Structure 1
Amino acid sequence: MMESKFKVGDVVNLIDNPSMYYVVIESILIDNGIFRRYRYEVSNIRTDDTFVYDESSLEFQYHDVGWEYYLNESVRNGLPAWRGKLYNLFACYLDFNYKNGIFDSSEVKERENDTIPVQFMEHIIKKHSVYGMINRVLGNRCTTESAVKIRELFKLSLEDIVEIRRSMLSELDDINATGADRRYHNKYKNSDLFKDNEWDILLQIDKLDVVKGVHVDHYPATMTNLHIMEAIKEAYESAHKEGAIEIGRDRDLRTGENITEVKGHQKYVGRSVTHDISICFLYSRDMNLITTAYPTSDYIDYNAKKH
């Protein structure tokens, strides 16, 4: 990973004009698929005017902790106030039970300008919820390579793994259908969501959920869709920046259009106190929304959740 030479709070001057002093506001990583380079948004210490310079134009003088705190904490990292109410993604489909991928157009329109529109929340749930993990790893018919590995490990027939998949998804549907007020609200005190052998199988499913060589992080099984959005909102409200702004390409899931970024996207990390979980999320400055959000921990020890 290409490292940024300067960080927020660094005081720098122009090489061509040493008397001009600035404080670094943002690191901007530009990636056009051919080359990667950093530019820096800086503020004139005397006038507060802002400029953007290439890395080669600036020279480091010293790091100012006061400026770093002000820019990272006092101004809330440039994030706008959260927009929209919490919602259960599954309730946005025309058919809750089968989740056929067809959304109720009125639900989509109502949340189109939320911090997390429906299409982006669907991406988060499909990739980072246990519900999505089970579907991705086992497939619809439990005939994937990973499903075969699990069958061999636990000495299961095809009928067995199909029934286990159905049973686990049914339980997850059940807790999502009733929202956040059911007995599963406290995710650390649940022994009855799945059977013991299902928890063991879930742990193996988790280990096998690898996309492009990278393990996918998942929210705890007993967090409903509503819990996940609640946790993301709490993380959003306590977030700090991680790394530089990146400018490249993105996709607007609301329209399906590819976007050549101008303002870029920023990685943040925040904490949900209610659900005792840290969450990483990406915020698109061009679309003004969260594009993805996932827990920062390694894979979850599902066996530990039984006790």
Structure 2
Amino acid sequence: MYAAANSRVANATSSEVVLEDISSNDALKESVTVNAVQALEGRVAGVQPTSTLGSTTGKISIPEIKEDNAYLKELNQSKDPYKSYLQLRDQYMGTPTFYFDVANFFQKGDRQKALLILSALADLQIENADLYKTISYKLREWGDVDNALYITAKVLKWRPMDPQSHRDYALALQDKGQYKEALEQLYGILTQSYSPEAANRDDGIEEILVMEINNLIKLQKSATAKAAVEKKLVADLPVDIRVVLNWNSQNTDIDLWVTDPNGEKCFYSNPATAIGGRLSNDFTGGYGPEQFLLKKSIEREI
């Protein structure tokens, strides 16, 4: 379905995930979607794990992005932070990162105000799919399933030509517990046609989708029994560690780097490690996703 992948372009920004102290088991123990949020002015922000399945005996460490903006300092010092936000808003009206930073600030103590600020961000640029993608990632991170589902449906309506729009919507459906509909969305990505440009850009996305289809079937067999999936795509694919990175902008190259317990880095120039780590195709034109798999993790003494 897909043509050859694009040639490698210069890497501007990378995200690194460090796997530590992992013990082996036979089931899928960790499924993490790491959302690299690229703001419209070019700053990369908000790299956070937003979804896990099952329990885990290991740890995934992601460096936090330092928030040292002047407006955050002012909010921290304010006796009425929301009033201060309203006063600051005019200065940052066209700056999406301002709204994300401030929404994160209020999320720690006032969910309703945080959601109100995110909704104001949505009003800045009507039908901006990239911006709405970022909002949906943040809502999923917060566990606001209903609003995330609404936003991903909007993006899918605007950009049905992108496989990632269908995948984002499917993952929100899964969060909502609508497993049959989620499976139909994921499988539909593999069966519909795309433009040559999209096919070239997204070469290799099938590998990620097949993992998610089979994980959904395994976890929710009764709910997905009536969804028709070609038998050759159904398989038991247990892995101990799975990490997925996706982002919200086209013409953007963000790389997934994973350092295993032995200190070996798995990335586009070294897509397979000695202990069995494996990286999917390198997506260089947006929107990803990129996937790291480790079938059998190892124990490491501290």
- Per the TM superposition, whether the score is higher than 0.5 is no
Whose helix proportion is higher, 1 or 2?
A: 2
TM-score scaled to structure 2, two decimals? 0.27
TM-score scaled to structure 1, two decimals? 0.27
Whose strand proportion is higher, 1 or 2?
A: 1
Q: Indicate the structure whose relative CO is greater, using CA pairs within 8 Å and at least 6 residues apart.
A: 2
